[in-house]
Chain A
Amino acid sequence: MPCRDLAEELTAAVAGAVQKIFGFATAFGPLLTDLAFAFDAAREQYHSTPILKRLAEDAPEWALKIIALVEVDLFIPILTHVYGEAQLGGKACIVSSYRLNDESWRHNAREKFLQRMIKEAIHELGHTFNLRHCRDHRCIMHYCRSEADVDLKSEELCRYCRILLLDEIKKLTAW
């Protein structure tokens, strides 16, 4: 469910980054078309945890992991909002463009937005490979406190996280 105007460009860019960092081929399509089941009327937001659960259940058998790109505002009950959520060591993750699309940008708005979405998508996908937040500010697994922090971090895993990812991939492919 990518953002309407950037749909193709965004999915292609995320697919490219996934291929580069994780080494897996990607496919995309509309897995869930109606998110009403996750809507909280009081908060006017979507609860991301049940969406992840549904995605993991509905995912085709051949899919190792699922990334959902959405434009609605996401939350988990204890927090006011989240940019995204992932099942730690699980199958599904989700990223929302809602708070990453800063309208005050005048210059390079499109590229900046794309970069943020790619970084957050890779970050959440990293969690499904059991990666935790990293203290290295440049690492893509670093937890960002603000949109500006997202802009500062790179699109790469640090050496430490890369080794942990390889360990996890080895475990997965050993099955």
Chain B
Amino acid sequence: MNSAKILIVDDETIMRESLAGWLERDGHQVQSAPSGEAALKKCAQTRFDILLVDIKMEGMSGLEVLRRIKEADPEVAVVMITAYGSIATAIEAMKNGAFDYMLKPFDPHELGVLVEKIIRHQEQARENLYLKEQFKERTRFESMIGQSEPMQKIFSLICDVAPTDATVLILGETGTGKGLAAKAIHSNSPRRDGPYVVVNCGAIPEHLMESELFGHQRGAFTDAKETKKGRLELAHGGTLFLDEIGEIGVRMQIDLLRVLEDRVFYRVGGTQPIEADFRVLAATNRRLEQLIREGKFREDLYYRLNVVSFDMPSLKQRKEDIPLLAEHFLRRYAQETHRSIDKISRDAIDEMMLYDWPGNVRELENAIERAVVVGKERQIMPEDLPILCHEPAAAPRRNTLEEVERAHIHQILTENQWNIARTARILGIDRSTLYNKIKRYQIQKDA
């Protein structure tokens, strides 16, 4: 059983002391308050998992404490302590959101069982919330594939770094599998049974980022109808993956740095510090050193994230993996779409090996998905692949990679009448990345 943070609220010193002593021996972190007023003050400073509140107290009653606590944080479990004479009040408390009530004096076994039940209940609630979030994101996890030397080096690095709790910065071009590498680190780490929470920093608008990461209290802003847990809180006990960290705004960088240093944060509109135990993994396709020079990325945050870092190789750097990857995607999409395509023709493989794959593995995956859908034969033919129409030879020579990328994106956008979804699919990147690139390269529609 995990330990809980427990607050005992009772105006009788002897009751507080004997209960605190008992719970401390069970390994719980226990504090006590002699009145409802003192309890509310403590709750404003610390977030407790369980409150044990005596119903009859001088000053603020136990029922009033329950009401005020539940208003501020509905997830705290409040157990009412009562004497035989006031069972009716205890039942009223249950109707008002108390988790349970206990008659004084308690049977020691029942107390232990109740505390254990609450902890389990809270763990399950946290896990359910996490699973719901995960389902919403529909994040697809799969094993990483590659027999090439660069990928073997990556596997070895992941094996070395996974068992530690070190922060890892994963670098690499779009579509190289940075997310898969992060997931592999989590899956091979001691935190594997904990949650794996992904934050796509490039996809969340800056004004929503704070609430998304830190959560918010009810009433913190106009739309905050309910108290909501942020991704940091959901990642408790597991791993937090900050994808596209280079896209995060400077203000949020300051907040994030503070969390990474102190491991404590506040919900938006909240006053209770929330402790968070999670490992941080981050990824970016941007050159962070360049962003630091431009004053767009904080150097202190960079050093905090860059404890261990590695580069995911581009598909161009590991062309020998193309047939293996293509086979893997073919099997998956043929199965998903119930098409009886089970082979890739020799000519199609050759075409794939000649192509440079600027969108990397994701572009290859999309190309195979398309080929499975449009293919007429039992095997994928060169003409089924969408790569023949935009060969790299068309790009002007002696230009920088960024200029080539800009020109390429512009061309595909124009060819597709600025249909963002279609263009992103062809480029093998997601829509948020495409938006970011349009913004960064200041690409505009032709007049």
Q: Is A146 an interface residue (CB 8 A)?
A: yes
A79 to B18, CA, bound (A): 8
Contact between chains at A80 and B27 (CB < 8 Å): no
| Minimal beta-carbon separation of B3 from chain A (angstroms) | 8
A17 at the interface (CB under 8 A from B): no
Determine the residue in chain B with the shortest Cβ distance to A85: B21
Contacts of A134-167 to chain B: CB distance below 8 A: 135, 143, 145-146
Contact A80 B105, CB 8 Å, known A49-B18, A135-B1, A143-B112 = yes
Q: Is the CB of B18 within 8 A of A145?
A: no
Taken together as a complex, chains A and B put the C-alpha atoms of A110 and B252 apart, in Å, by: 68
Residues in A whose Cβ lies below 8 Å from that of B104: 78
Interface bracket on B: 20 to 34
Chain A contacts for B204, CB-based, 8 A: none
Q: How far is the CA of A82 from the CA of B112 in the complex (A)?
A: 13
- Chain A contacts for B25, CB-based, 8 A: 86, 88, 127, 132-133, 143
The proximity string for B residues 79-122 relative to A, scoring 1 for CB distances below 8 Å and 0 otherwise, is 00000000000000000000000001111110111000000000
Q: Tell yes or no: A75 within 8 A of B by CB.
A: yes
How would you classify the secondary structure of chain A's contact residues: helix, strand, loop or mixed? loop
Our pick among A77, A132, A143 for the contact of B24 (Cβ within 8 Å) is: A132
Nearest CB of A to B84, in Å: 13
CB closest residue in chain A, given B14: A77
B26–A79 touching, CB < 8 Å? no
Nearest to B108 among chain A residues (CB) is: A79
- With contacts A132-B26, A133-B26, A143-B26 taken as known, whether A81 is within 8 angstroms of B108 at the C-beta atoms is yes
A132 and B27 in contact (CB under 8 A), knowing A49-B18, A78-B19?
yes
A88 touches B21 (CB 8 A): yes
Complex partner residue of A77 from B26, B105, B107, CB under 8 angstroms:
B105
Judge whether A76 is part of the interface by a CB distance below 8 angstroms.
yes
Give Cα A135–Cα B116 distance, bound, in whole angstroms.
12
Contact of B106 among A49, A79, A86, A132 (CB under 8 A): A79
Shortest 8 CB-CB contacts between residues of A and residues of B: A132-B27, A76-B18, A78-B19, A145-B109, A78-B18, A79-B108, A133-B26, A77-B18
16 A-B pairs besides A78-B22, A80-B107, A145-B109 with CB distance below 8 A are A49-B18, A77-B105, A78-B18, A78-B104, A78-B106, A79-B18, A79-B108, A80-B105, A82-B108, A85-B21, A88-B25, A127-B25, A132-B24, A132-B25, A133-B26, A133-B27
CB<8 Å pairs between A and B, sample of 8: A49-B18, A79-B18, A79-B22, A79-B111, A80-B106, A86-B25, A88-B24, A143-B26
